[in-house]
Amino acid sequence: MKALHIHNHYRYRGGEDVMFERIGNLLRANGHKVVTFERRSSDIAGISGKMQALASSVYSLRAKASVKELLAAEELDVVHVHNLYPLISPSVLEACAERGVPVVMRCPNYRLECPTGVLMRKGRVCTECSGGREYRCAVNNCRGNVLESVAFAARNTLTRTLGLFKKHVSVFAPPSHFVKSRLVAAGFPEDRITVVPNMVPIPRTFGNAAQGEYIALAGRFSEEKGIETLIEAAKRLPKVPIRIAGEGPLGERLRAGAPSNVTFVGQLSREDLGEFYSHARACVVPSRWYEAFGLVAAEAMSYAVPVIATNMAGLAEIVDHGETGFHFTADNAAELAGHIDTLWNQPALARAMGMAGRKKVEREYSEQSYYLRLMGVYETALGTKAAVAPSAELAKSA
């Protein structure tokens, strides 16, 4: 099978960028050809660059022409859309339709319902734009920049009015049942939505949470991630070492407000991140938004580390309260501190929960499971039910 994968990389690397790379590598490892059309937000420079990006996010003739040319040059079976904003836009969906190539679209956020993609405003869950009220993004100035807020509202209004996604996407593939429920509520046809949970490479070696030396957090430093909640919890537990990995727009503010028992270790490579998890007593995922999946939680669980996560959306599907970790209420630093204290002082419990989490990852989020689910989605998009077997090497590793 030959597939075109389309993705606009974020300025700060996050879970969507990671999954884009993992999916492509998985398909190539199983003998499929993957062609990519990529743009990077980090290439946007200066005011003129931002103005051009805002315009292109609404409808990019250049991206449409480029994808159309690529489709004409390659004999491709399916197009897999990851992220279209801000330098690609839904215009490329028309190019796919004109060439008669079916489209599968990952839905790792809420962009089809919410102009900013996070269903969040001023640190709180917000659904004001749902149901065709995208203008609320402009009225509320959700981006903190009037021009950007207007542009974001305009692009969602245009794509909804033109029906670009409903007309040209064969299968929507959200990573959790919660995201599926939001898509259905937003009016997308349920029979064209298939849940495909994210995959997690399962490490052969892992640590012992009972011997963990600190509480870990890894993620992008942005408002929806709720990292401030862990900072506040750390102040209540001055004898518990906390280590935070990552970078992002809130980095300076987070560092300024952190107590002495919190250490920022920067952006880590995949190898270093594995080492980071392996020496942790527990991992905290304090997201205050509707996390579509919670890749960090599943990754930590693959290293046999218990996870303390907010009881929202996709995270509630990954972390089983009392079995693979604990749930807590978003922004509740006292509740979070209580769970951290429990695992810090009960190493045997941390070990048991960590091992239960690893078994769940092996069972539900392995590369083989993802591959088979994705092939099923591709076959649906192509209108065939032909069986596709995983490679021998992958099957052996499962």
- Cα 141-310-302 angle, rounded to 5 deg: 120
Dihedral of CA atoms 188, 193, 195, 200 in degrees, nearest 10, equals: -90
Which value, in Å, is the radius of gyration of the alpha carbons in the chain? 21
Residue with tokens 């596709």: 388
Per-residue pLDDT of the chain (398 residues; tens, 9 = 90+): 999 999 998 887 877 898 999 999 999 999 999 999 998 877 777 787 777 777 677 788 899 999 999 999 998 999 999 999 888 989 999 999 999 999 999 999 999 999 999 898 887 899 999 989 999 999 999 988 898 899 899 989 989 999 999 999 999 999 999 999 999 999 999 999 999 999 998 999 999 999 999 999 998 888 889 999 999 999 999 999 999 999 988 899 999 999 999 999 999 988 899 999 999 999 999 998 898 998 899 999 999 999 999 999 999 999 999 999 999 999 999 999 999 999 999 999 999 999 999 999 999 999 999 999 999 999 999 984 333 334 434 444 43
At residue 322, the pLDDT reads: 96
Spatial separation of the C-alpha atoms in residues 162 and 32, rounded to whole Å: 33
Residue with tokens 């859309």: 81
Structural contact between residues 247 and 267, judged by C-beta atoms closer than 8 angstroms: yes
How many residues are there in the chain?
A: 398
Superfamily of domain 209-364: Glycogen Phosphorylase B; (3.40.50.2000)
Residue extent(s) of CATH 3.40.50.2000 domains in the chain = 2-111+164-199+366-397, 209-364
Going by C-alpha positions, the residue among 338, 291, 341, 347 that lies closest to residue 317 is 291
213's tokens: 């030396």
Spatial separation of the C-alpha atoms in residues 380 and 377, rounded to whole Å: 5
**Is the domain covering 2-111+164-199+366-397 a CATH 3.40.50.2000 domain?**
yes
Spatial separation of the C-alpha atoms in residues 218 and 269, rounded to whole Å: 11
At residue 61, the pLDDT reads: 87
